[in-house]
Structure 1
């Protein structure tokens, strides 16, 4: 099925594909995978090569284009762009508690085991067979999208002409525990920077924590806001404009009324909007699984956090956490509660297939360029460079100019830089 519409300087086509849930059972259950194709209006019909974008996450749909800007503007100079809603996200057989309600927890876990990078790449190759069967295409992955790129290079490099990664070179041979040990250290640094920059933030946080201990503050879904939930705001400390958003929210958390100090209703609404766990449950359910190869995560982030007393909710100075999923979150968020038993089964799953082929990567023939951010709170720089050293021919741009979401903030420049790097154009 195809639908067409226009945006400023762009022509858009909506595409749907009927694909197997399990590629080892091609005659079994099918899912719908959605993608949005973009062409620059003045280049429409020229049969330009394809560039496929893999969104970060896991569990987030591809961006919804609004304007001819950012990395899309640069890409449309020489490509047709395919924005892929990875399976389970956006319009691609979306995953939520309602879509899984007819399954038992065991069946839910079995179903969701097919939603990692390996099957996302299989979907991409199936789509390439329809759109670009005779020509390899170019891929770009942001964050978790970079994990998909590396899997693509491991198992289906013949389908690729070029590959680009921004903030998303995954660790090879590192356990989930090692990943969180490294990223918790980064989170400590981001907390320190936050409190140093906003000098009254510590007092604001301390006052709000004391209020939450003594008062029942309810979120939508009849869930009580706990100090541990407040700490989850730290996921924004590793983003461009994220610390500012957290600070301005904290400024308005409490207000003085005729009957005393009260929680500001605005805070409740904005707090809920700043966390994605209710709207993107796949992110919570599968986040630790992206690091697993033939081993179980067993709630690695929670296990590592238990060794770090500075992150305790009662610590003298409250520290925010980062991109970590904790088992108690499945008691706190209303749209995660029905998936709690499934999440426990996935955390205990130890037979996850391998995602990366070190031998294939060492013999890589595809031109690859990657932006590695020195202060990345989500993807540890040291592990990214460790992996890059094992990929034949990769070119890395290591920079302190951007946070993890740099491609959203300055995508045109970043992507142009990577294209020049990949093609040996040192003048750009």
Structure 2
């Protein structure tokens, strides 16, 4: 396993509460690296809010929620730089032309794959509904709105106009979201619009079968070798450790110098460490 370990003992609410903390950390790192983007991101968001509807080349609507959704890239190697270059292009278009060019719009569209991978969006929260009686009920959005009461950078989850008109707007950055799917995404992505009703039904559905048999996992006889990343924005490291203890026979390579996409970015190093786990013997 090369992307952490699933939180087999946790609810969707617990997962997103943990993940938002890492998302906030990545936002803080982003704005430390690119402090001038505090104003740029706000300017783009203000433009989108005032000019609505702004259409993208693929036919989707360019909303504030969709803009800040490119934070999905923040947890990957080079993600901060990728977002920064995108923000630069969008801000330059608005400054020079007062509209977003096809080139910038097309590049932006490619950052979040909901149009090309709609099932990813529709079923994403369902991976945390471990058994009957549990409905995801847009957990990421609910948890984010609660956190926004104490975290101004997330205030747009409660009210976009309020977030854009907050005091000292140039000093308060708008935070990007992470691997979170919100109801608003089903209004601005063309391929998701026809699935909106289905997504609502799935969000309310609470008769899921149990995904994990903890008793069986505790008796597991299949060797498990996993890479887990302390700075992972998509899989909470604390919950990954919890899972490693719950699954018998699990060996973990844990590091704080790689990100979630390390298998692509540092293939040889990740696989080398996993093969070492296989070859080593614990007392």
TM-score by length of 2: 0.87
Contact (CA 8 Å) 1:255, 1:262: kept in 2 or not?
Answer: no
1:287 aligns with 2:114: no
C-alpha distance in structure 2 between counterparts of 1:256 and 1:339, whole Å: 32
What SS does the corresponding residue of 2:228 show, helix, strand or coil? strand
Shift of 1:203: 2.1
Aligned residue for 2:273? 417
C-alpha distance in structure 2 between counterparts of 1:348 and 1:258, whole Å: 43
What SS does the corresponding residue of 1:167 show, helix, strand or coil? coil
Aligned residue for 2:169? none
Contact (CA 8 Å) 1:254, 1:261: kept in 2 or not?
Answer: no
1:178 aligns with 2:17: no
Q: 1:258 to 1:233 in 2, by over 3 A?
A: closer
Cα RMSD (Å): 1.9
What SS does the corresponding residue of 2:263 show, helix, strand or coil? helix
Contact (CA 8 Å) 1:254, 1:264: kept in 2 or not?
Answer: no
Aligned residue for 1:195? 31
1:356 aligns with 2:212: yes
C-alpha distance in structure 2 between counterparts of 1:221 and 1:406, whole Å: 30
Q: 1:420 to 1:344 in 2, by over 3 A?
A: same
1:381 aligns with 2:237: yes
Aligned residue for 2:137? 298
What SS does the corresponding residue of 1:266 show, helix, strand or coil? helix
Aligned residue for 2:155? 312
Aligned residue for 2:72? 235
Shift of 1:186: 0.7
Equivalent residues in 2 for 1:94-109, closer than 5 Å: none
The structure richer in strand per residue is 1
- 1:278 aligned to 88, 105, 115, which one? 115
C-alpha distance in structure 2 between counterparts of 1:291 and 1:256, whole Å: 40
Highest RCO, 1 vs 2 (Cα 8 Å, sep ≥ 6): 2
Equivalent residues in 2 for 1:87-126, closer than 5 Å: none
1:209 aligns with 2:48: no
Q: Across the two proteins, how many residue pairs are aligned to each other?
A: 262
Equivalent residues in 2 for 1:130-279, closer than 5 Å: 165-216=1-52, 217-255=54-92, 261-279=98-116
Contact (CA 8 Å) 2:39, 2:173: kept in 1 or not?
Answer: no
Q: 1:240 to 1:257 in 2, by over 3 A?
A: closer
Bigger Cα Rg: 1
Show structure 2 runs of 5+ residues with no match.
Answer: 157-162, 167-171
What SS does the corresponding residue of 2:191 show, helix, strand or coil? coil
Shift of 1:425: 7.4
C-alpha distance in structure 2 between counterparts of 1:421 and 1:362, whole Å: 20
Q: 1:188 to 1:209 in 2, by over 3 A?
A: same
Show structure 1 runs of 5+ residues with no match.
Answer: 1-164
- 1:322 aligned to 170, 175, 178, which one? 178
Shift of 1:223: 3.4
Shift of 1:183: 0.5
TM-score by length of 1: 0.58
Shift of 1:221: 4.8
The structure richer in helix per residue is 2
Q: 1:360 to 1:256 in 2, by over 3 A?
A: closer
C-alpha distance in structure 2 between counterparts of 1:226 and 1:332, whole Å: 7
Shift of 1:343: 0.9
What SS does the corresponding residue of 2:47 show, helix, strand or coil? helix
Q: 1:256 to 1:278 in 2, by over 3 A?
A: closer
Q: 1:283 to 1:394 in 2, by over 3 A?
A: same
Equivalent residues in 2 for 1:327-346, closer than 5 Å: 327-346=183-202
What SS does the corresponding residue of 2:280 show, helix, strand or coil? coil
Q: Which moved more, 1:373-382 or 1:215-224?
A: 215-224
